[in-house]
Amino acid sequence: MDSETAAWLRQQREDRGWSKAEMARRLVQAGRESGDTSVPELSGMLHNIHRWEREGGISERHKLHYCRALGIHPSQFGLGAVDEGADALTPAPCGETGPAASPAVVPAKRPAAVAGQADPYPPASAAIAYRGRQDPLPGEFAVKQEVTMAAHEGSDHAAEHEQNGIGEATLEQLRTDLVRLSGLSSSGSPLPAFQDMRRVRDRVYRLLDRRQRPAEQADLYFLAGCLNGLMGINANRLGYPDAAEELIRAGWAYANIIDHNALRGMLRARLSYVMYWRGWYAESRDLAADGLRYASQGPMGANLHLEHARALARLGEADAARQAVGLAHAARESGYSDDLVEIGGEEFALSRATTYSMAGTALAEISGDEREAAGELERAISLYDEGPGSGEQHGFASKALAGADLAVVRLRSGALDGAVAALGPVLALPPAQRVATLTARLGRVREELAAPVFRGSPQARDLGDQIEAFDREAVTVGLHSLS
């Protein structure tokens, strides 16, 4: 019995926060990518992992697959601590020590990061490493990790052994996870939220790889569509619009499979938002209009009308934009509900406060409507201060986004003092919640501060300096500092 290797394999897996089922999935993928046509299926690989982590005895072929899955150099297999530097991410074939690596074991190439952005695939330790989040004490982290791993393994084992499909217990747990993650997307820091969403989504994918009854398969497609949408939202917050678009389109594919109109509408709204902030206003308008074919009432209908209004206003279609704002308010108060509203969270059920905030943002793009825009944004901030209404949840950055937009409107009217007041709560946000969508809004504030009327103003210069300092501590900048 090779107890040292067994303990090392278990430690490497747990250090990455992976369940045995996740480790099996990654090993199967690694084997297939290396051209190993005899790699076992998931169930067989899972059985092997149970045995290897108890007895050791792993073959040289599977050591190679572990090298690929763990992202380590083969010379590090079976050793203690693994260096997460650049060399560890480009392993050579097992048994070789030179720098060259054969195509069989070079890890799958990662997409290139967009210029000026962080690596879109930070290491597993990033959840506690990026700037703005306090590292837990070693003992605290070890306890949390042990408890979390035990919970994940319990769920995986139960799902594997439930008879007649995946079973109601597994579906109930996944639905509970979705509700929790929707709330976490609204209230938590985006990077750990994204990682948690990916863990749950990967579990849904593993279940979809098994034969399911049609009704259970439809439930899983719904969960996969929702989770990809949530991941896309958080990818965009972290500064990766390309990844956000890809994730949201993946969710759209699942919504189409099950012909789910509310989910289609939600995903169109999210993609319209991404396109707008990329400066692709015509695409944003068209996506929102397409989404309204599927969801025109209730919170999601209001969301789509407002995305439509914002893009229309930016394209110079002022009357159509004003009309869309009116339709949004009517849709939000219609009393309509669906299964997305029942999930809850700002991403699935737009709050009244955010309805006013988005309306103000749209009207701010229309020359001459600054007063109306300011009124909508001030109403939004007042509602945020009152707290969520029944069945509502406010996003962690929602009030800050409204404050940034209000500052833009006030600066356009020359009210520098008013802009400073609006930005006070914004600039006080902790670094972990200074997301890319917020720094983009503050970029517009800086553009207004560059207007001739503010040149030579010490107050304007000081506000610009504060925004620059805010940007330096944003979560996306913190990701750059990761090894």
Q: Which of 26-35, 143-152, 210-219, 461-470 has the lowest mean pLDDT?
A: 143-152
**What does the pLDDT read at residue 102?**
32
Q: Which domain holds residue 307?
A: 167-417
Please answer whether residues 92 and 98 qualify as being in contact, where contact means their C-beta atoms are separated by less than 8 angstroms.
Answer: yes
Q: How far, rounded to the nearest angstrom, does the alpha carbon of residue 464 sit from its chain's CA centroid?
A: 29
Q: How far, rounded to the nearest angstrom, does the alpha carbon of residue 271 sit from its chain's CA centroid?
A: 13
Residue 137 maps to a domain: no
Q: What is the CATH number of the domain that holds 211?
A: 1.25.40.570
**What does the pLDDT read at residue 80?**
62
* DSSP character at residue 202: H
Better-scored residue on pLDDT, 138 or 4: 4
Asked whether residue 85 falls in the same domain as residue 181, the answer is no
Asked whether residue 455 falls in the same domain as residue 407, the answer is no
Report residue 255's pLDDT band, with 50, 70 and 90 as the boundaries.
very high
Residue 134 maps to a domain: no
| Distance, CA of 262 to CA of 282 (rounded, Å) | 23
Q: Mark which of 107, 134, 154 sits at the end of a domain.
A: 107
Residue 112 maps to a domain: no
Residue 225 has pLDDT above 50, yes or no: yes
Q: Mark which of 89, 107, 125 sits at the end of a domain.
A: 107
Q: Which of 12-16, 20-24, 166-170, 260-264 has the lowest mean pLDDT?
A: 166-170
Q: Mark which of 85, 107, 129 sits at the end of a domain.
A: 107
Residue 439 maps to a domain: yes
The predicted-structure confidence for 367-382, as pLDDT tens digits, reads as follows: 999 999 999 999 999 9
Mean per-residue pLDDT for 244-263? 95
Q: What is the CA radius of gyration of the chain?
A: 25
Residue 449 has pLDDT above 50, yes or no: yes
Asked whether residue 222 falls in the same domain as residue 206, the answer is yes
Asked whether residue 270 falls in the same domain as residue 374, the answer is yes
Residue 204 maps to a domain: yes
Identify the CA nearest to 430 among candidates 76, 50, 132.
132
Asked whether residue 88 falls in the same domain as residue 217, the answer is no
Residue 132 has pLDDT above 90, yes or no: no
Residue 475 maps to a domain: yes
- Phi/psi for 59 (5° steps) reads -75, 165
How many structural domains comprise the chain? 3
Identify the CA nearest to 42 among candidates 208, 158, 175.
208
Asked whether residue 176 falls in the same domain as residue 318, the answer is yes
Report residue 158's pLDDT band, with 50, 70 and 90 as the boundaries.
low
Please answer whether residues 281 and 265 qualify as being in contact, where contact means their C-beta atoms are separated by less than 8 angstroms.
Answer: no
The predicted-structure confidence for 317-326, as pLDDT tens digits, reads as follows: 999 999 999 9
Which residues, other chains included, contact 154 with Cβ-Cβ below 8 Å and sequence gap of 6+? none
Residue 335 has pLDDT above 90, yes or no: no
Asked whether residue 294 falls in the same domain as residue 387, the answer is yes
Which pTM value belongs to this model? 0.66
Asked whether residue 175 falls in the same domain as residue 281, the answer is yes
